[in-house]
Each structure stands twice: as structure tokens, then as C-alpha cells.
Amino acid sequence: MECLGPALDEIARCASDVGLDERRTQKITLAVEEALANICLYAYAEHDGGEVEVRCSRGFHGGFVVEIVDSGRAFNPLVAMLPDLSVDVEKLKEGGSGIPLIRAMADHVGYQRREGRNILELTMHPAA
């Protein structure tokens, strides 16, 4: 968690470098922040920590891609149960809104489990 700030700053810089505007850069940075926090809190919950690798690249059609790789316990956010957001805010339990937030902020979310590692791919396209 101590590396989160510098990592997010670097992601924002890379997003800007590939041409994302400030609003879309903030959205992808928020999605990455939530994903990294979830990994720190849950993927390695049974251990004293673990490594997370973050890669940024220019994707197809000029999109900005952030790939987050960890070797924590397997978790596919694309098939995870989403909370019922139709209930009153007071009735929602703490937590549980991170996955919907990630899905809402990124234009595309992809996941695969390969060689014992979770690979989460978040893509943000330039503004139309």
C-alpha cells in the first residue's frame, strides 16, 4: 500500500502521455487504485504481503491499457457477485462497491488466470 501513491502518479503520467484527457485519466486512475487496494486487502489476506506488477501500454486504436498482475488467491471480478445497489445506503454493508466502481470507470475490463497469477486488464479509450 505504501507504493500506491507513486504508482498512481506514474499511471496518470502515462495516461496523459498517450493522450487521455484529465477526466478520463482520473477515471482510469481511480479504477486502478480500487483494484490495487482490493489486491492488497484480499488477494494476499492470508499472507504477510505479496508482489503486484503494474504495466501501462498503448492499446489498439490508441487506447490506454493498464495490466495488473498478482499471484494472490484467484479472483475473477467479471463473475463476482455484485451488490444490490437498489437498497437504501444504510442497509449496504461496508465494502462490496469496488468491483462495480472498477467496471464503471474503465471502458473495458478483462481478466484471466494464468500460471497461478491473476491478470486484470483495464482499458480506457480517448474521448470520442
| Strand spans (E) along 8-116 | 52-58, 64-70, 108-114
Q: Look at residue 117 in the predicted model and tell me its pLDDT.
A: 96
Torsion angle, alpha carbons of 98, 105, 60, 17, to 10: -110
Pairing of strands 64-70, 108-114: unpaired
Please choose, from the candidates 79, 85, 100, 82, the residue with its C-alpha nearest in 3D space to the C-alpha of residue 35. Answer: 100
- Name the phi and psi angles at 47, rounded to 5: -120, 175
Asked if 62 and 124 count as a contact pair (C-beta separation under 8 A), the reply is: no
Task: Note the pLDDT tens digit of each residue in 19-43.
Answer: 999 999 999 999 999 999 888 888 8
Q: Find cell 498478482 and name the residue.
A: 70
Q: Residue 85: which residues within 8 A CB-CB, separation 6 or more?
A: 92, 97, 100
- Return the CATH architecture of domain 4-124: 2-Layer Sandwich (3.30)
Tell me the percentage of the chain whose pLDDT exceeds 70: 80
Return the domain boundaries, the chain: 4-124
Predicted confidence (pLDDT) per residue in 38-68, tens digit = 888 888 777 667 889 999 999 877 789 999 9
Model confidence at 92, pLDDT cuts 50, 70, 90, reads very low
pLDDT at 107 over 80: yes
Identify the pLDDT of residue 114: 97
Interval 70-84: pLDDT, tens: 999 999 988 866 555
